[in-house]
């Protein structure tokens, strides 16, 4: 199993550019989420989804959009990148039905906005 995959690993953007961070999982997990990791702040939840067609905002949603058209994929879109969005982004998934509560994380995308 590949688990949770993220692309790209690294990305540099200019202010105002848009891009999509890709996330996919092959574990048939219902729950998927996006976090950003910043020094001294731990992980903060951006958006999450409990199933295809259902998304909701987390702690820091401004400047980000998500969609969940399939169980496997949960892309994160930056519509107009800002330097404050320079961060490491992690996608995670978990099973709502198994009861284990374990989050499985992807390897991360390091984004720099100039």
Q: Measured between alpha carbons, how far is 66 from 61 in angstroms, rounded to an integer?
A: 10
Q: What is the dihedral of CA 14, 18, 24, 30, to 10 degrees?
A: 130
Q: What are phi and psi of 41, to 5 degrees?
A: -120, 0
Nearer to other proteins (CB atom), residue 15 or residue 26? 26
Please state the closest distance from residue 114 (CB atom) to other proteins, in A.
22
Interface residues with other proteins (CB under 8 A)?
Answer: 4, 31, 33, 35, 40-45, 48, 50, 58, 90, 92, 94, 96, 101-108
Q: Minimum CB separation from other proteins for residue 83, in Å?
A: 22
Nearest approach in angstroms of CB 30 to other proteins is 9
Task: Kindly state the smallest distance separating residue 81's Cβ from other proteins, in Å.
Answer: 22
Measured from the CB atom, the residue of 48 and 64 that comes closer to other proteins is: 48
Judged by beta carbon, residue 19 or residue 45, the one nearer other proteins is 45
Residue 78 in contact with residue 63, Cβ under 8 Å?
yes
Closer by beta carbon to other proteins, 24 or else 106: 106
| Residues contacting residue 98 through CB under 8 Å, at least 6 positions apart | none
Largest CA distance in the chain: 42
């Amino acid at each position: 199993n590949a688990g949770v995959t993220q692309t790209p690993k690294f990305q540099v953007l200019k202010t105002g550019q848009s891009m999509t961070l890709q996330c996919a999982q092959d574990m048939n997990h219902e729950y998927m989420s996006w976090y950003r990791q910043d020094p001294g702040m731990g992980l903060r939840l951006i958006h999450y989804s409990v199933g295809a067609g259902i998304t909701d905002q987390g702690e820091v949603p401004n400047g980000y959009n998500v969609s969940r058209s399939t169980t496997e994929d949960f892309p994160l879109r930056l519509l107009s990148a800002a330097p404050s969005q320079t961060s490491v982004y992690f996608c995670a998934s978990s099973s709502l039905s198994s009861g284990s509560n374990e989050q499985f994380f992807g390897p991360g995308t390091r984004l720099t906005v100039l």
